[in-house]
Chain A
Amino acid sequence: MDNNHFDPIPSNAGVGLKPQHYEEILSLGPDANHQIGWFEVHTENYMGAGGPPHYYLEKIRQDYPLSLHGVGLSLGTAEGLKPDHLRRIKNVVDRYQPALVSEHISWSIANGVYLNDLIPLPYTAETLQITCEHIDHMQNFLGRQILVENPSSYLLFKSSNMEEPDFINEILSNTGCGLLLDVNNIYVSCQNHGWDARNYISKLKPETVGEIHLAGHSVKEWRGQSLRIDDHGSHVCDEVWALYEYTLSLMGPKPTLIEWDNNIPALITLSQEAERANILLNSD
């Protein structure tokens, strides 16, 4: 599918767009804000009919390429995609002509209830078939390629009989969609499940990767066992930066997003994180 007429995102750093930064981004302008090459938004936050969210995004979109990152479609749900939500996504895509459109390899909807979380899937042939059908449907409906993000998880299902990177590769080759490679998610999941993060990344195919995510996470301790929580509420940790460097050494430079969704810092802090990614992206 042809993606190129959508004003492509360069292989530099972008950040997640937050309402508290709208005014500052507009008053700085792109030249004074040069570490941030593009913005990503959660698609669901721009599904209202009108109002300030659209007012600001339309202005910012004039100066920057945009990526739409959905959190609500629930590609892995067993009860089928919600057509009205797919229609809402298409409306936002039509309105903003984003360079990238992405969703998650996870589920959020069961019995018609939306859990507002990205819950892991059992990796089975049944799940693979359902998820691929939904990705095909979404790509056909939008008339373009989408990216899907590898999950972070705190538990695994007994019924899984495929390894996560193999499951992802099957999805990519069956549907032709691209991968949004979230380095922090790989680190979090590998720590939580005792997997080898470098081995995981080395199984992924460079030509499928359309975007990289970096974010901060936290650690919780229970009965001597620690679990990493993917809360997007702090700086990217050194281990994840190291894993990012390793990823770039295999994949080459890719558009890289700094995600920071909780305890949102000043724009300058996001810009500094973006600068750190830009240095690594340009170091070859």
Chain B
Amino acid sequence: MRKKVWVRGMATLFDIQEAFLSAILDSQNDVIADEILGHVVQERLNIYRNNTFITLRQALSQNFPVLCRLVGQQFFDHMAGEYIQKNPPTTPLLMTYGVKMPEFLADFEAVGSLPYLADVARLEHLWNMSFNGSDTAGFDLETLNRIEPDKFEDIIFKCLPNMQLMSSIYPVLDIWLANQAEEGASRNINLDKGPCHLAIFRKAQEVEIMALDLAGYSFFGLLGAGKTLGAAAEQMAGEYPNFNLQEALQNILQNNLIVDFEFAE
């Protein structure tokens, strides 16, 4: 933040708020102190610094509970403090604050020995997006039975609007699951298990995470991108010769991951 100087008594509201913001985010910056009345000015300013950082750290530990558990509350608070200074919120919507946490962790040297943390954070953010994402009305599978077979390949499925997809070279679902128990029921996680592919979605009030194989994940991605069933099937057949379309469709329909469909023009 640049240092601002103004003539006493000439500070506008904008000047005061800008200087106050600088003082909150950087405890070395105390230009604003000249504008504050009375004694123990630094202590008074510190109340505002603390309020801001404590409540934002709380928001981050609520949004990233597994991350917090993996590194411990004390280290998390330190890390969160740096995150807040680098990425202070730009909206009052704290329910999804921390969107840049994965990138932040990838660059944060102190956790360099835990390279999977960034992907755990990504999973937690997507979980949150799904938790707060749009609700959906149920979809009647019977309507699919009334479609003429020659129209199948023109179907464009509409997936759950709160569905999120991610893949990682680390077993982030295993890590996530191992850290859901109340007590530290630490399971041995095999970090060399290979990549995992996930669909994260919410049908009623509970967020669910579904593990997919690479082909299934690609198929979800194609449907999510609005491809027709015919185009998706053709691409899948080319890229994954062992892909079983029938099985994948059944999985999607039986799990109620489709909320609607339309036909390509």
CB <8 Å contact, A117 and B90:
no
What CA separation (Å) do A110 and B11 show in the bound complex?
A: 15
Contact B44 A50 (CB under 8 A): no
A119 within 8 Å of B by Cβ? yes
B31-57: which residues lie under 8 A (CB-CB) from chain A?
Answer: 34-41, 43-45, 47-48, 51-52, 55-56
A110→B21 contact, CB < 8 A: yes
B88's nearest neighbour on chain A, judged by CB, is: A113
* In the complex, chain A residues whose CB is within 8 Å of the CB of B91: 72, 82, 84-85, 114
B36, A51: Cβ atoms closer than 8 Å: no
Residue of B41, B89, B92, B132 near A51 (CB, 8 A) is B132
Report how far A48 CA is from B130 CA in the complex, Å. Answer: 10
Task: Determine if B21 and A49 form an interchain contact, defined as CB atoms under 8 angstroms apart.
Answer: no
Contacts of B11 in A (CB 8 A): 159
Total A-B contacts with CB atoms under 8 angstroms apart: 143
Q: Tally B residues with Cβ within 8 Å of A.
A: 47
Return the chain B residue nearest A192 by Cβ. Answer: B44
Kindly list chain A residues whose C-beta atoms are within 8 Å of the C-beta of B221: none
Contact with B along A186-230 (1 / 0, CB 8 A): 000000000000000000000000000000000010110101010
> In whole angstroms, what is the CA distance A88 to B37 when docked?
36
Residues of chain B from 1 to 47 with CB closer than 8 A to chain A in the complex: 9, 11-14, 16-18, 20-21, 24-25, 34-41, 43-45, 47
**B133 contacts A78, C-beta separation under 8 Å:** no
CA separation between A209 and B131, bound complex, in Å? 38
In the bound complex, residues from chain A placing their C-beta under 8 Å from that of B35 are 122, 157-159
Task: Evaluate contact between B37 and A119: CB separation under 8 angstroms.
Answer: no
Residues of B within 8 A of A111 (CB): 18, 21
CB of A231 to closest CB in B, whole Å:
9
**A155 and B41 contacting across the interface, CB-CB below 8 Å:** yes
Interface centre among A50, A78, A227 (most CB of B within 10 A): A50
Given contacts A85-B91, A115-B52, A223-B40, contact A130 B13 (CB under 8 A): yes
Q: Judging by beta carbons under 8 Å apart, are B20 and A45 in contact? A: no
B189 CB-CB contact with A under 8 Å: no
Q: Across the interface, do B48 and A127 meet the contact criterion of CB distance under 8 Å? A: no
| B162 / chain A contacts, CB cutoff of 8 Å | 49-51
Minimum C-beta distance from A160 to chain B (A): 8
From A47, A79, A82, A157, contact of B14 by CB (8 A): A79
Q: Is A60 an interface residue (CB 8 A)?
A: no
A268 at interface by CB-CB < 8 Å: no
8 Å CB interface, A47-63 against B: 47-55
A116–B41 touching, CB < 8 Å: no
A114 and B132 form a contact (CB under 8 A): no
B135 in contact (CB, < 8 A): yes
Q: In the complex where A55-B205, A116-B59, A155-B38 touch, is A227 in contact with B13 (Cβ < 8 A)?
A: no
Asked if B88 and A47 sit within 8 Å, CB to CB, the answer is: no
**B92 pairs with A116, CB closer than 8 A:** yes
Q: Is the CB of A114 within 8 A of B88?
A: yes
| A157 and B92 within 8 A (CB) | no
Cβ B48 vs Cβ A117 within 8 A: yes
How far is A198 from B55 in the complex, measured between Cα atoms in Å?
Answer: 32
Instruction: Report the Cα distance A44→B36, complex, angstroms.
Output: 30
A156 pairs with B37, CB closer than 8 A: yes
**CB distance B93 to A47 under 8 Å?**
yes
CA–CA, A113 and B88, complex, Å: 6
Report yes or no: B47 in contact with A154, Cβ–Cβ below 8 A: yes
**Given known A-B contacts A107-B17, A116-B89, A119-B20, A154 and B134 have beta carbons under 8 A apart:** no
Interface centre among A44, A109, A117 (most CB of B within 10 A): A117
**A-B residue pairs in contact (CB < 8 Å), sample of 6:** A48-B131, A51-B202, A78-B16, A113-B21, A115-B88, A119-B17
The 6 lowest CB-CB distance pairs between A and B, nearest first, are: A72-B92, A48-B132, A50-B135, A78-B14, A110-B17, A155-B44
Q: Which residues of B contact A (CB under 8 A)?
A: 9, 11-14, 16-18, 20-21, 24-25, 34-41, 43-45, 47-48, 51-52, 55-56, 59, 88-95, 131-135, 161-162, 202, 205
Extra inter-chain contacts (16) besides given A55-B135, A113-B90, A220-B47, CB under 8 Å: A48-B132, A49-B161, A51-B131, A78-B13, A78-B16, A82-B91, A84-B91, A110-B14, A117-B48, A117-B52, A130-B13, A154-B48, A155-B37, A155-B38, A159-B9, A223-B43
